[in-house]
Structure 1
Amino acid sequence: MTSSNNGIRLAFLGWAAAVASLLYWVSDLIEAAQGGFSTAQLWLTLLAEAAIPPIVVGLWWFQRERLGRLGAISAWAYAYAFIFFTFTVVYALVEGTPDFEALSDDLGPAMTAHGAVMLFAGIGFGVAVARAGALPAWTGWTLAIGVVLVVVSQGSPEGVQLIAAGVRDLGIGAMGIALLRRGGLGAGSGTG
């Protein structure tokens, strides 16, 4: 692949990470403001969540030589968790689920199990990114802290949950912005 094609792919990945992260947080904000799900809000969530798996795999791909086994396993596991979470949005749309509490009641242990995958994979990917040096370390630490905050804030007031989700979303979004600002990952990174 040519350097020009690589730059275009990095720019697309950067924009996708930044925009999807923002849309994901906006969908959480709308959900909080209206006190539950709505069809439009769920479609926005679906759009944002469905983008997360290819974005995270793309972020791993372009840093793969630096991320090691922890980064690879964590990126793919995080992507897997968000494939499941994307399914939950489709479920909520089809079933007319009114809110997250009802969704959690309907899907029970599967939500908990995939939440645990998201937690450990998010921590692992965040730590791998922070250590790799291909992107600013704070973006990886922000993701790692964000997934912990998302898990521990379950059941907290909406404002606390929004802050937690915002920290998580900032981690991925900032990785995307770092790709845009940098224009590439430099020597020793993946070449696609």
Structure 2
Amino acid sequence: MDRLATRLTTTGAMLCPLLHTLSDGLEWAQGGFSPLQLGVSACAFLPIPAVMLGLYAAQRPRISAVGLLGAVGYGFAFVYFTHTALLALAIQSPDYQQLWGELGVTYTLFGVLMIGAGLAFGLATLRARVFPAWTAQLFLIGLSLNLVLALFPIPEMVQTLGSLLRNIGLLGMGWALARQPSGLPGVHRSAP
């Protein structure tokens, strides 16, 4: 990867998760959606496809083709989630439940894609050992938590715990990329 691509990936991998977490915090504090919160969500989600491809490229040649499929699938899911944030803004949806009522099974299918593709990317990242192991582990734990919590009738805001862990993992990958003198991380040993 050239310097510009590395800088863009680093910036996106740190900024997008921070914006996503801010959006979740705003939603929680306000008790639902607002134009500001939905705008922050769209800004957080829109660059994710490029960020994921950049994180994949930063791990080449150590990361497997499964990592590429995971990065593409995860990014594609966030193209849809950007659409949902903009749709919620356009129809003035007050909260997640009302938006889900509008989107139904399609939203669920993209959630399944996000989790499945994210697991593929996270496992490939862990195996590649380019980024510190904790970054992929938090990303994987967050995805797993999202999956498990989706199976139970709990408040949607509890799901944000999984998102927070995913976001910390992605932010950590960006931080690791930024800290390397060459802009490309070296091989990290997994913690025992």
TM-score by length of 2: 0.89
Which residue of 137, 144, 156 maps to 1:141? 137
Give CA-to-partner distance per residue, 1:46-92, whole Å, 9 cap, x none: 00011211101111122232111110111101111111111111111
Which residue of 42, 45, 51 maps to 1:46? 42
Distance 1:178 1:15 in 2: 12
Aligned length: 184
Distance 1:132 1:13 in 2: 18
Q: Does 1:12 align with 2:8?
A: yes
Aligned residues with identical type, % of pairs: 38
Aligned to 1:181: 179
Q: Does 1:107 align with 2:103?
A: yes
| Conservation of the 8 A alpha-carbon contact between 2:10 and 2:174 | yes
Shift of 1:157: 3.9
| Conservation of the 8 A alpha-carbon contact between 1:150 and 1:168 | no
Q: Which has the higher helix share?
A: 1
Residue type at the aligned position of 1:10: T
In the alignment, structure 1 segments of 5+ residues that lack a partner are none
Aligned to 2:190: none
Point out the more displaced range, 177-186 or 120-129.
Answer: 177-186
Residue type at the aligned position of 1:118: M
Q: How does 1:153-164 map to 2 (within 5 A)?
A: 153-154=149-150, 155-157=153-155, 160-164=158-162
| Conservation of the 8 A alpha-carbon contact between 2:5 and 2:54 | no
Aligned to 1:67: 63
* Bigger RCO (CA 8 Å, 6+ sep): 1
CA RMSD of aligned residues (A): 1.8
Point out the more displaced range, 108-117 or 159-168.
Answer: 159-168
Shift of 1:156: 2.8
Point out the more displaced range, 147-156 or 128-137.
Answer: 147-156
Point out the more displaced range, 75-84 or 149-158.
Answer: 149-158
* SS at 1:65 equivalent: coil
TM-score by length of 1: 0.89
Shift of 1:186: 5.5
Residue type at the aligned position of 2:166: R
Distance 1:74 1:144 in 2: 12
